[in-house]
Amino acid sequence: MGAAGNLAILGLQWGDEGKGKVVDLLAPRFRHVVRFQGGNNAGHTVVVKGESFALHQVPSGALHEGCLLVVGGGVVLNLEVLALELERLESRGFAVRERLLLSEKAHLILPHHIALDRWREGGRNRIGTTGRGIGPCYEMKAARMGVRLGDLLHPETLADRIRPGFDEVLHLLGSPEDLPPLERLVQELLQAATPFLPLIGDAQGRLFEAWKRGEPILFEGAQATLLDIDHGTYPFVTSSNCSLGGLFTGTGLPPKALGRVLGIAKAYTTRVGAGPMPSELLDATGERLREVGHEYGTTTGRPRRCGWFDGPITAHACRTNGVDGLAIMKLDVLDGFGEVGIVTGYRDGEGGVSRRVPGCAQDWEGLRPEIRRLPGWSAPTRGARRLADLPPEARAYLQVLEEVVETPIAYLSTGPDREEGCLPGGSFLQGLLPA
Ligand code: IMP
């Protein structure tokens, strides 16, 4: 069984690193592209010939006809949103339905999950979720009150599957106006589900067979390590395992089915929602990163918090995921800055500097970033296709970044389009990406 060719792509920061572009670039070399966690909180942007596609639940291999698309059991799905996404792709000439398999074990995001998410976000303990019902859907799964896609194939018992979770939400919220009664909810769900019923199946079995036959598999993470429910900045995280462990639980494949791990990070740092972010720049520099980098959420349109590249969090993510190489994205956004920075550690109130990523929310308080400042560059990196074409200051910046993270760069993106990027000599992606 050939695992060597199977590759995982994982975010190393707080999401929005540009995973969509990398998956889209690599997809032609893979037979299967797999999502294994998260839901329509994700927004993966792929730009093809200047045209932008935002994918939320469909794997980013959607734009390549030869790719079979698998939604694993660790994913949570909103079928109404999925229908819209497929329609949008089809109207632009991408037939996806025939290539899509939805795991019978994936959980459904239901209206009462969304109502609960939004109700909580209206209270004092808000964490800035996307409001898509992701947290409550995973909670119901863990509480054994979730509803799986496979349950849709048993309409006679569907109301009984949904009722316990639905009743708990009503108990907590009263009877919110925007929540239909259970009978209507079930009816509407069955209606929305009808076109998807033929796509529901044994994704674990399909992937196992593909692995056995040596057909290459690309695993596409959503969100990122610092948003991982266990290894992120808890409680300001999403509700799934976005780091490597989630790949195995979310597909049912064992670790030996995986070859390499490519970690994706932006050349600077962004975050949406509340929670610690020591690198955040609340000044004109942060504003410039946001405007030049178009740092507004793909899913919610919210402005992203921006700051210099954070070495310790990215190193933590590399360790957590066993990253073999980095894809550094959006280097061109730093073009024209007089000076650029890399966070190399955190200084506490007593003056001590540490590279450790705190495990508790309280331990982040009062940490100040230790920033290594480097000369910026005026010649553009935008569109560069060879490292040798980068200004020397940009190359020096990347070298420091690699040292701080202790991981080599395997791909460098210099613009949103497929053609804009460099493949360093010695990269393990040689042979998978055009040089
Ligand atoms: P939830 O996933 O909607 O529950 O949101 C929890 C946290 O994760 C919030 O801070 C969101 O902004 C963040 N989040 C969820 N999905 C993404 C994503 O795809 N990119 C960036 N942040 C995300």
Compute, in angstroms, the gap from residue 18 CA to the centroid of ligand 1: 15
Instruction: Give yes or no for residue 1 having a pLDDT over 70.
Output: no
CB neighbours (10 Å) of residue 77? 22
Share of the chain above pLDDT 90, in %: 88
pLDDT at 227: 98
Cα–Cα distance, 230 to 141 (Å, whole number): 17
pLDDT digits (tens, 9 = 90+) for 108-118: 999 999 999 99
pLDDT digits (tens, 9 = 90+) for 299-349: 788 999 999 999 999 999 999 999 999 999 999 999 999 999 999 999 998
CA 150 and chain centroid, separation: 25
Closest CA to 61 of 217, 264, 206: 217
Pairing of strands 68-71, 100-103: parallel
Compute, in angstroms, the gap from residue 238 CA to the centroid of ligand 1: 6
Site to probe by mutation for ligand 1, drawn from 227, 270, 305 as the one with most ligand atoms within 8 Å of Cβ, is 227
Taking 3-state DSSP, the helix, strand and coil percentages for the chain, each rounded to the nearest 5, stand at: 35, 20, 40
pLDDT at 327: 98
Domains of the chain from N-terminus onward: 7-104+202-422 (3.40.440.10), 107-199 (1.10.300.10)
Instruction: Give yes or no for residue 295 having a pLDDT over 80.
Output: yes
Compute, in angstroms, the gap from residue 193 CA to the centroid of ligand 1: 26
Site to probe by mutation for ligand 1, drawn from 12, 55, 238 as the one with most ligand atoms within 8 Å of Cβ, is 238
Compute, in angstroms, the gap from residue 260 CA to the centroid of ligand 1: 26
CA distances from 62 to 52, 57, 201, 415 (A): 13, 10, 19, 21
Average pLDDT, integer, range 192-199: 97
Average pLDDT, integer, range 11-21: 95
* Shortest-distance atom of ligand 1 to CA 222: 19
Compute, in angstroms, the gap from residue 223 CA to the centroid of ligand 1: 7
pLDDT digits (tens, 9 = 90+) for 255-274: 999 999 999 999 999 999 89
Compute, in angstroms, the gap from residue 129 CA to the centroid of ligand 1: 5
Of the pLDDT bands very low, low, confident and very high (cuts 50, 70, 90), residue 44 is confident
Cα–Cα distance, 368 to 211 (Å, whole number): 46
Token pair for 253: 């494949």
pLDDT digits (tens, 9 = 90+) for 52-100: 888 999 998 999 999 999 999 999 999 999 999 999 999 999 999 999 9
pLDDT at 176: 82
8 Å CB contact between 424 and 386: no
Cα–Cα distance, 305 to 125 (Å, whole number): 20
User: The dihedral of CA 126, 132, 133, 134: what is its sign?
Assistant: negative
Pairing of strands 51-55, 44-48: antiparallel
User: What is the reported pTM?
Assistant: 0.96
Residues with CB under 6 A from ligand 1: 14-16, 41-43, 127-130, 132, 134-135, 222-223, 227, 236, 238-239, 272-273
Considering only the C-alpha atoms of the chain, give the largest distance between any 2 of them, rounded to a whole number of Å. Answer: 67
pLDDT at 48: 75
Cα–Cα distance, 267 to 415 (Å, whole number): 12
Average pLDDT, integer, range 21-28: 92
* Shortest-distance atom of ligand 1 to CA 43: 19
Instruction: Give yes or no for residue 125 having a pLDDT over 90.
Output: no
Token pair for 429: 């992606």
Count helices and strands in the chain by DSSP H and E runs: 12, 20
Cα-flanking dihedrals φ and ψ of residue 351, to 5°? 95, -5
pLDDT digits (tens, 9 = 90+) for 169-179: 999 999 888 89
Q: Give the residue, by CA position, lying nearest to ligand 1 atom 19.
A: 42
Consecutive H or E run containing 411: strand 409-413
**H helix runs in 126-275, sequence order:** 134-142, 155-173, 182-193, 203-213, 244-251
Instruction: Give yes or no for residue 24 having a pLDDT over 90.
Output: no
Average pLDDT, integer, range 389-407: 98
- Residue 351: which region, alpha, beta or left (left: phi > 0; alpha: psi -120 to 50)? left
CA 125 and chain centroid, separation: 24
Q: Which has the higher per-residue pLDDT, 95 or 50?
A: 95
Cα–Cα distance, 69 to 102 (Å, whole number): 9
CB neighbours (10 Å) of residue 136? 28
pLDDT digits (tens, 9 = 90+) for 132-156: 999 999 999 999 999 999 999 999 9
Q: Can you give the length of the chain in residues?
A: 435
Q: What are the residue numbers of the active site?
A: 16, 44
* Shortest-distance atom of ligand 1 to CA 129: 5
- State the Cα torsion 156-181-240-5 to the nearest 10°: 50
Q: Give the residue, by CA position, lying nearest to ligand 1 atom 10.
A: 273
Q: Give the residue, by CA position, lying nearest to ligand 1 atom 8.
A: 238
8 Å CB contact between 77 and 39: yes
CA 347 and chain centroid, separation: 29
pLDDT at 178: 83
Closest CA to 277 of 397, 405, 369: 369
Q: Give the residue, by CA position, lying nearest to ligand 1 atom 1.
A: 129
CB neighbours (10 Å) of residue 193? 20
Site to probe by mutation for ligand 1, drawn from 118, 129, 300 as the one with most ligand atoms within 8 Å of Cβ, is 129
